[in-house]
Amino acid sequence: MKDYVSLKNREFSKVYKTRKSKANHELIVYAVKNDLEYNRLGISVSKKIGNSVVRHRFCRLVRECYRSNRDNMKQGYDIVVIARPEVIGLKCQSVNKSFRHLLHKHHLLEDDE
């Protein structure tokens, strides 16, 4: 069973329009309050990143990063994660570090208070 809800296409557009993003070399993360009691996660990977195997691997890594951090995250946000080309070939630990860094910048971690 999933511990998050995936965003739909129109919800991606709504999040993008807020222009509330933080970025580092590997990822871009948009985060917007959603007035729900749970988070919704969206992942966007361009075909420029690689073939479907590479793109799906990235999606799995991000879902795992979200899963490993969800207990420390604030709830009630729409979160969209976008891959940058530098993410190609990174290990799970590096993606997780990058993801946590951006969550911290968005003040989405419970220990940020």
- Provide the CATH number for the domain formed by 5-108 in this structure: 3.30.230.10
**Of 103, 19, 22, 32, the residue nearest 62 (C-alpha):** 103
Beta-sheet strands, E only, within 2-106: 5-6, 21-23, 27-33, 40-44, 77-83
What are the extents of the domains in the chain?
5-108
Digits of tens for pLDDT over the chain (113 positions)? 455 566 666 776 777 777 788 889 999 899 888 888 888 888 889 899 889 999 999 999 999 999 998 889 999 888 889 898 888 888 889 999 999 999 999 898 887 55
